[in-house]
Structure 1
Amino acid sequence: MPPMANTLHKTFRTVDVGSGDDGRWAGLIRATYPPEALAGWLTEEGRTDEGARAARRLFETHLPELVPALDRLRADLADIPHTGTLLTLAAVRPFFAGCTQIGAGGELLRNYDFDPDEVEGSIVRSHLLRPVIGTQEGGWGLLDGMNDAGLAISLTFGGRKVHGPGFAVVIVIRYLLETCTTVDEALARLRTLPITVPQNLTLVDPHRAVTVHLGPDIPLTEAPDACAANHQSEPVPPEQERETRTGERLAAVRAAGPDVAAMLRPPLHHGGYDGGFGTVYTAHYRPAEGAVTYHWPAADSWSLSFGTFTEETRTVRLGAA
């Protein structure tokens, strides 16, 4: 990871999308993503009729419970080309993030590392199949989130730049939180879902925490403990360690445990925002309480829950305190 550089500001917003309020969700997508930006997410194949049909078939086969919601959103955004295909998140160009996360004691703590200008910044409470709160990306996918049953999930990039047919993991997290109540149930579903690039997921419920390694070229594999940075095997290649410090970060989060203070300082938190990645937020999920708190080193924390969720906008300072 690059050394601490400059600081900048990022605007986040909370959005409450109630049951049957898909029109408002479509409006959020319109306000967040210009049509040209949406089109830019698609692979070349996804822009073709054949590619669109293949993405639809994949979605219907593996995520059937979400098909009615997909169709409602597609109808509300019908004037934007390729939106129906994009919302399947089965024909999008791969993206690679950083991130560190740990699950323990019924809690999930994660840092999301990316280019802040490329992060949506929407924290959404929704009710498609059940109540879900999470950090949204890709229109209706989730970088991390929890449901009302006490299940929480977050992602990190797996570190290997391979690509295959399957889903962007953000829609997989949405699907698991909409349809599962426990870690074991989510793992059973995950084993059947194709993932387009290597990803690590950490899953937590009141009784279990686990990290799994996923990818288009490997079966689901459980990690030794419920921690993840940005690799899927050890030792980490020297070049990858120089670029991402993934081994150092994993060792640090293992040593610290689920400690918010540790997540807000190097090496787990970094502010290399000059032209690229930095830690955009730290999220601390307590799914049994239905609560999440977002943290930054130089800004007030932001606590939300299923019972207390008000819509507002906050611009926070990223980087060191």
Structure 2
Amino acid sequence: MLWRAISEELPGPKWAGLFAEYWPFYRKWWLKEGEPARPTYAECRRALKAHMPDLIPLYEDLCDQAGGGDLAARFLSFYCPPPYLSGCSQAVWGGKEPVMVRNYDYNTNAFDSLVLHTGWKGRRVMGTSDGLFGLVDGVNDAGLSISLTFGGRRVVGVGFGVPLILRYVLQTCETAEQAGEILARVPTHMSYNVTVLDRKRKYLTALMAPDRPAIITKAAVATNHQENVEWISHARFTATVERERYLLQRLRFHRDPEEKFINTFLKPPLYSHQFNAGFGTLYTAVYRPRKREMEHRWPGTVWHQKLDAFEEGSRNVLMPGIVA
């Protein structure tokens, strides 16, 4: 699996080149239910203006870089996209240096495999890209880190794809409290659990849903259900309850040192080999918000990045368990 790390201060030729490369695949996915199933450009922009107005100038810049087309602009709004599912586990380790660790379990064929470092609108952000605008995890120059897991519910509603909401949080917030206010306010089209950790060791997990108000919790662990398991077959398949219990035990009773805790994510029951079912662990991410650093880890490989000294490059990563 080829991973790339790209840095560009403002939306420009690098991002435009990435969009031209990825767009044929994203266009096919975005239109898989037919164009009438997706909202119009006017509806998309109106929703952004209502819920994330600070993002409008950046959104318009990216639409211009994407060529100014109607479909691309609608896609980049992340408003009411097709439904999609993932696995994922995440936890906050509360040692001397607060750390957020997460596994991202998803389909290898529907993933950017891209780390983006940007200075858009004066805010430096780096994280794991989704849709070239959104992020599935990341950290900003205020020392705020964020990560998502799927919430394990079938309900699809009117709202935004959560990766754009994560981008919005990192572009506009400095503390977990500020992030919680946005996560409670902005509508999501599916259920997700979003964990944030700031440089002052404050953390929270927002249980977001399209059909009920978000619940802001002090949970340090999130897997693929919310307060109760609602989608039983998905819960069994992904072992969400077992993973949650395992992480809670590690945090409450074992009190592992940092490196040992991180390494638990690289082994079962947290590490998944179900690649051919679309739920294999694509990477483990480690965020140290005080240091504004991140790592992508795989068995035997660590790729370290600093927000203040980001290095572009690429890595070919062998994914254990993938059957050709």
The answer to whether TM tops 0.5 is yes
The letter of the residue matching 1:202 is: T
* Distance in 2 of aligned mates of 1:75 and 1:48: 24
Aligned partner (choices 4, 17, 20) of residue 30 of structure 1: 20
Residue 233 of structure 2 corresponds to 239
Tell me if the contact between 2:38 and 2:80 (Cα under 8 Å) persists in the aligned partners. no
Q: Which amino acid aligns with 1:116?
A: T
Contact 1:141 1:173 survives alignment (8 Å):
yes
SS in 1 for 2:105: strand
Match of 1:207 in 2: 201
Distance 1:72 1:226, change over 3 A: same
Distance 2:91 2:248 in 1: 8
Range that drifts further, 73-82 or 140-149: 73-82
Counterpart among 108, 120, 139 of residue 116 in structure 1: 108
Residue pairs, 1:90-239, within 5 angstroms: 90-105=79-94, 106-129=98-121, 130-205=123-198, 206-223=200-217, 225-234=219-228, 238-239=232-233
Partner of residue 313, structure 1: 314
Structure 2 CA distance for partners of 1:319 and 1:253, relative to 1, 3 Å: farther
Q: Confirm or deny: 8 A CA contact 1:103 1:210 kept in the other structure.
A: no
Whether 2:65 is the aligned partner of 1:76: answer: yes
| Alpha-carbon shift at residue 224 of structure 1 (Å) | 5.3
> 3-state SS of the aligned residue for 1:219?
coil
RMSD: 2.0
Evaluate the alpha carbon distance shift between residue 200 and residue 31 of structure 1 in structure 2; reply closer, same or farther with a 3 A threshold. same
Question: Structure 2: which 5+ residue stretches go unaligned?
Answer: 252-257
Matches within 5 A, 1:243-254: 243-254=237-248
Structure 2 residue aligned with 1:5:
none
Q: Given the alignment, which residue of 9, 15, 23 partners 2:6?
A: 15
**SS across alignment from 2:60:** helix
TM-score by length of 2: 0.89
C-alpha spacing 1:46/1:178, structure 2 compared with 1 (3 Å): farther
Identify the range of structure 1 (168-177 vs 238-247) with the bigger mean alpha-carbon deviation: 238-247
Distance 2:151 2:231 in 1: 13
Higher relative contact order (CA 8 A, sep 6+): 1
| Percentage of pairs with the same residue | 32
Counterpart amino acid of 1:124? Answer: L
For 2:302, the aligned partner's letter is S
Change (3 A) 1:162 1:301: same
CA-to-aligned-CA distance 1:219-275 (integer Å, 9 cap, x gap): 111345221000012356653432110000011111223611110000000111224
Question: How far did 1:93 drift?
Answer: 0.6
Q: AA paired with 2:142?
A: A
Equivalent residue for 2:30?
Answer: 41
Letter of the aligned partner of 1:133 in structure 2? M
Which residue of structure 1 aligns with residue 263 of structure 2? Answer: 261
SS of 2:47 mapped into structure 1 = helix
C-alpha separation in 1, matches of 2:147 and 2:283: 13
Which residue matches 1:280? 282
Q: Aligned in 2, Cα 1:91/1:241: closer, same or farther, shift over 3 Å?
A: closer
**Which letter does structure 1 place at the counterpart of 2:18?**
L
3-state SS of the aligned residue for 1:288? coil
Which amino acid in the other structure matches residue 158 of structure 1?
G
User: Normalized against structure 1, the TM-score is what?
Assistant: 0.90
Unaligned ranges ≥5, structure 1: 1-9
Matching residue of 2:255 = none
Q: Displacement, 1:72? A: 1.5
Tell me the amino acid that sits aligned with residue 61 of structure 2. R
Higher helix share: 2
Deviation by residue 1:300-320 (Cα, 9 ceiling, x = unmatched): 200001122111110111226
Whether contact under 8 Å (2:235, 2:241) holds in the other structure is: yes
**Structure 1 range deviating more: 191-200 or 76-85:** 76-85
